Amino acid sequence: MTYLEGQKLFWKELFGQADLSKRIFLHNFLDVHRQHRLGLLWVIVNPCIPLIVYNSMQFLGIFKDTSADIPRSVHLTLGLLIYYAFSDALNSFAVCLPQNGQYILRGGVSKLSVYTGTFYEVLSNFVIMFVAFIVLSYFVGYQVGLTVFYIPLVGLIAISLGTLLGVILSIFYVYYRDLGNILRMFTFYLLFGSGVFGEIEETGTFFDILRASPLYKLIYQGRSMLFESQFIIDSSTLYLFGGSVGLLILFMGFFMRGEKRLNAFI
């Protein structure tokens, strides 16, 4: 199969198996919780656990306050919202092939359908967290206004970056399952260097690298949009979004050429 044939197959399966992708999404996102005591309540609880944990720490006084005009919980939760848009996509895509191996090997489901179903899950988790952010803002008395609806644009860019990296890493994860544990540790520590808890003020090469990271810039820009009414997305952010989507499409052409070789390791 040539690269152009791989691209043709990618677009054919992307649109031709939309119903199958939705069924995978509904099973993994909804049906998997039906046997639990809390049932579908887990659909809402799971994405909000980080928000609950870190805001509980905030109310206990572990984190310092920012300005008097912006409640610390709102400042913190907005950073968490954008950060987890990225990390959820990264971790979910990286491990999705083996986790859905029964559909791929027994049901003949294409890996692209699994990727698409995973994207629906990541997007749904983001929407739930976004609604939770709005509810929290009103709960603590901060009026976010209509400017809050600019935040999903930043979230979508974070998801696109996480999706690109996650899809690429998913190939390696099929062969090296230890990658999943390494990735979870990486994203856990990245949380503290991503600007979620505040701007990085330390000097030095290491901190300069953290400040230059795309995720740090996305979180900073999200806060500028909401708190400073700066609604313009800068060119570097647009390049990040376009580059992530473009590279993902480019990569899928190569992926479709040899994706059947992965079946022996799933």
What is the reported pLDDT for 64? 59
C-alpha–C-alpha distance, residues 84 and 81, integer Å: 5
pTM value surpassing 0.95:
no
Asked whether the beta carbons of 263 and 17 are under 8 A apart, the reply is no
- Paired tokens of 239: 């390049």
Q: How many Cα neighbours within 13 Å face the side chain of 23?
A: 8
Query: Tell me, what's the pLDDT at 16?
Result: 84
Tens-of-pLDDT digits for all 266 residues of the chain?
A: 788 888 888 888 888 888 888 988 988 888 777 776 777 788 888 888 888 888 887 676 656 555 557 888 899 999 999 999 999 999 999 999 999 988 888 877 889 999 999 999 999 999 999 999 999 998 888 888 888 888 999 999 999 999 999 999 999 999 999 998 999 999 999 999 999 988 888 888 988 998 999 999 999 999 988 888 766 777 888 899 999 999 999 999 989 888 888 888 88
In contact, 147 and 231? CB cutoff 8 Å: yes
Q: What is the pLDDT of residue 160?
A: 97
Tally: H helices and E strands in the chain: 11, 0
Structure tokens given for 255: 């992926």
Query: Tokens 């709102």 belong to which residue?
Result: 74
Alpha helices for 17-110 (secondary structure H) = 18-29, 41-59, 72-99, 101-105
- List the structure tokens of 71: 């409640």
CB 190 within 8 A of CB 215: yes
Tokens of 26: 């509904």
CA-to-CA dists, residue 242 to 33, 135, 250, angstroms: 36, 31, 12
The C-alpha atoms of residue 72 and residue 58 are separated, in whole angstroms, by: 7
Give the DSSP H/E element, type plus range, for residue 168: helix 151-175
Where on the phi/psi map is residue 160: left (φ > 0), alpha (ψ -120 to 50), or beta? alpha
Q: Which two tokens stand for residue 115?
A: 């990727």
Two structure tokens written together for 50: 């980080």
Query: Residue 140 in 3-state DSSP?
Result: coil
The pLDDT, as a whole number, for residue 26 is 86
What does the DSSP 8-state code read for residue 64? P
C-alpha to C-alpha distance for 51 and 29, rounded to whole angstroms: 19
